[in-house]
Amino acid sequence: MARCFIPVGWQQAGHLALVGFALLATLATTRAGPATQAGMTAIPAGTYRPLIRSQDEPAEISVAPFWLDIRPVTNAEYLAFVQAHPRWRRSQVSPLFADSGYLSDWAGDLELGPSAPVGAPVVRVSWFAARAYARAIDKRLPTIAEWERAAAAGFTQSEGAKEPGFPAQVLAWFTQPTPQPLPAAGSGRPNYFGARDLLTLVWEWVDDFNTAMVTGESRGDSGLDRNLFCGAGAAGIRDPSDFAGFMRAGFRSSVRASYSVPNLGFRCAQSP
């Protein structure tokens, strides 16, 4: 449980987590959930239109209401986690669950250092590690459908694609180099649902990242060539001009669960 790993001197995020758990107890008793959830924002029920789908898959997927962290998990929060769970420390993690780049921007096992500011999003964590973190605080990773549903909102409208200037701003992120070190998580402008930094800080793990698309080796599986490379990438696509969507799909399918990537972090979700 959360109290196990909250260290002395790490008050702010700890308080948030504690409040979160207090609320969680209430949450369990009511299906609708509370109106607020510390550090999280409510994403109302909606739909997600997959970027890539085969003919027997639905054009729209319903997404039930859920809670989503307002911002990505920070280095400080993740440090508290590894303090409480030694097996996820850099020196002790199993190579099965995290590759050699795991937390390599940290100064030490339990020391963040100048490359990993306290408030910056934690990156270089594997999918296994992100899931373990979420599970330790009774949360989970969002699914692709949930994450995309939340990120489809603009700053002022529920459909960012229709908000003037919003798609260009999202795309602009790809054309700017990653700042070193990363800026603080939560400093971005909140979107329509109150979530920050979804599209313009770091990539984020999702629970079912490896269903993003079928790549090279397994393209024979479906009988439909869904390989996203070159011109073949345009076959079966909802909207070929959704460049940012392509990038996310491409990114998700470029990683494996043990990978640590310098600009890939995560945030947690929770069902009401």
Partner 1 sequence: MKNPTCPRPGAALLFVALVALLPRLDAAEGTVLARPGVRPLAADLPVETAVLTEAPHVPPRITRQHAAKVIVNLEVREVVKRLADGVEYTFWTYGGNVPGSFIRVREGDFVEFHLNNHPTSKVPHNIDLHAVTGPGGGAASSFTAPGHSSQFSFTALNPGLYVYHCATAPVPMHIANGMYGLILVDPKDGMPPVDREYYVMQGEIYTAGRHGEGGLQNFDPMKAEDERPPYVVLNGSVGALVGDMALQAKVGETVRLYFGVGGPNLTSSFHVIGEIFDTVYVEGGVLPAQRHVQTTMVPAGGSTVVEFKVEVPGTYILVDHSLSRAFNKGALGMLKVTGAGNALTYSGKEIDEVYIGQASDAGFAASKREAELMAQKEAAIADNPRIAGFTKEIQLERGRKVFLTSCFACHMANGEGLPAVFPPLAGSDFLKADKDRAIKSVIKGLSGPITVNGKPYNNMMPPHDFTDDQVADVLTFAMNSWGNDFGAVSVSDVKRVRAENK
Residue 238: CB atoms within 10 Å: 12
Structure tokens at 131: 């899931």
Considering the rule CB under 8 A, would residue 115 count as an interface residue with partner 1? no
Tell me which residue of 40, 44, 42 sits closest to 71, measured CA to CA: 40
Of residues 122 through 181, those in contact with partner 1 by CB under 8 A are 124, 168, 171-178, 180
Among 80, 129, 255, 269, binds partner 1 (CB under 8 A): 255
Are 66 and 143 in contact by the 8 Å Cβ rule? The answer is no
- Applying CB under 8 A, the site for partner 1 has a residue count of 38
Q: Of the two residues 15 and 239, which places its CB atom closer to partner 1 in the complex?
A: 239
- Taking the least distance from each CB to partner 1, the nearer of 183 and 194 is 183
Structure token digits, residue 186: 């939560």
Rounded to the nearest whole angstrom, what is the least distance from the CB of residue 243 to partner 1 in the complex?
A: 5
Q: Which is nearer to partner 1, 63 or 255 (CB)?
A: 255
Q: Is 68 in the site for partner 1 (CB under 8 A)?
A: no
What is the DSSP pairing of strand 264-265 with strand 203-204? parallel
d(CA 9, CA 101): 28
Nearest to 139 by CA among 63, 45, 48, 66: 66
260 binding partner 1? (CB under 8 A): yes
Beta-ladder partners of 66: 43
Q: Does 247 bind partner 1 (CB under 8 A)?
A: yes
- Contact residues toward partner 1 (CB under 8 A) are 101, 124, 168, 171-178, 180, 215-217, 227-231, 233, 240-241, 243, 246-247, 249-251, 253-255, 259-264
